[in-house]
Structures are given as structure tokens and as C-alpha cells.
């Protein structure tokens, strides 16, 4: 995560969106990495993260199923979500520079 600041008051909402996007990308990455560990608290944390993170990939999966006969592999919505989030973040950062 990086520190995003702006000196223009009108660009402050863009900075807030970037911060929110950073938090979402961090939680999504955590949701995908945590199941690799076998600690007793991991299942509870993953279950709670699932309610926060999974609605976006699930919506993309439903959209792919409605628009194509073959929606593709199960990991495709996650790649679209994380890749799109990273691209969107960099586009928004371009507004601040």
C-alpha cells in the first residue's frame, strides 16, 4: 500500500476512492492467500473476508455466464477483479499527478 495525498481539495474524493480501492485489493489478496495456512483462526477470518470481497467476483461470474455459453475457468472473475482494480487504481493515480 502506498500513501496517496493531494494538495487540490477538488481531487480529495479521487484520493479517497484510491484508498478504498487499495483496502479492497489488500483484503482480496488476503482472502486468496490465507487459505494456504492451517492455523485455527484462518477459517474464521476467511469466512468474514468472503462476505466483504466475494460480491464483486460473483457479479462478474454471473455477467460472464449470461453473456457467454462457456463462462471460462473459475479463477477468471478473480483475475478480472484484481487486474481491473490495479488498472483502475493507476488510472486514478494519473489524475493526481
Q: Can you give the pLDDT at residue 36?
A: 92
Is residue 51 situated within a structural domain? Answer: yes
Q: Which pTM does this prediction carry? A: 0.79
Could you list the pLDDT tens digit for every one of the 97 residues in the chain? 566 666 777 778 888 888 899 999 999 999 989 999 888 899 899 999 999 999 999 999 998 888 877 878 889 999 999 999 999 989 888 887 7
Per the structure, the complete domain to which residue 61 belongs is given by 11-96
Q: Which three cell numbers, joined as nine digits, stand for 87? A: 488498472
CA 26 to chain centre: 7
Q: How many domains does the chain have?
A: 1
25 occurs within a structural domain: yes
**What is the reported pLDDT for 28?**
92
Amino acid at each position: 500500500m502506498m500513501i496517496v495525498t493531494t494538495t487540490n481539495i477538488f481531487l480529495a474524493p479521487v484520493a479517497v476512492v484510491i484508498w478504498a480501492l487499495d483496502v479492497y485489493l489488500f483484503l482480496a489478496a488476503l482472502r486468496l492467500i490465507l487459505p494456504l495456512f492451517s492455523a485455527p483462526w484462518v477459517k474464521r477470518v476467511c469466512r468474514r473476508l468472503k462476505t466483504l470481497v466475494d460480491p464483486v467476483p460473483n457479479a462478474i461470474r454471473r455477467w460472464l455466464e449470461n453473456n457467454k455459453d462457456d463462462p471460462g475457468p473459475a479463477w477468471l472473475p478473480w483475475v478480472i477483479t484484481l487486474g481491473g482494480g490495479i488498472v483502475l487504481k493507476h488510472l486514478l493515480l494519473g489524475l493526481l499527478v
